Homo-oligomer: A and B are copies of this chain.
Amino acid sequence: MGAPSVINLGEKFGSFADHWNPRIVGGYNGNELRLAKLQGDFTWHSHADTDELFLVVKGEIGIEFRDGVRRIGAGEMIVVPRGTEHRPFAEQEAEVLLIDREGEPNTGVAPSHMTREKLETL
């Protein structure tokens, strides 16, 4: 097998424009590396069997938890433990690297109008 490829986040983010529609850009130990642009409000949900990592590459996001809001800016990350209800939002467009278990729905156990049935691989 040849040397693995380098993934340039800026190039990947430059290749799509829509919000709340994660693209898969790679894999790590049975998890998917996903890039998403966030703007506006997402729906409350949790992931039963996977933690979820958010690393903000550009802009700022918020995540509402049942006991308060966390704000995560560029150069910051947060891991939402499995089973923890949360609701992401972004007042202005933000770019985020997400890591989720392979095949995990973006809305976890709580399907909504924000659910994306099949994520595109870039």
Q: Which residues of A are interface residues toward B (Cβ below 8 A)?
A: 1-10, 26-29, 31, 33, 50-51, 53, 55, 57, 63, 65, 67-72, 75-81, 84, 97, 99, 101
**Alpha-carbon distance between A75 and B28 when the two chains are bound, in angstroms:** 17
5 A-B pairs with C-beta separation under 8 A: A3-B67, A4-B70, A29-B29, A33-B79, A57-B75
Tell me the nearest residue of chain B to A30, going by C-beta. Answer: B29
Q: What is the copy number of this chain in the assembly? A: 2
Q: Which of B6, B28, B68, B76 contacts A70 (CB 8 A)?
A: B6
Which of A29, A65, A72 lies at the interface centre, i.e. has the most chain B CB atoms within 10 A of its CB?
A29
Do A70 and B7 touch (CB < 8 A)? no
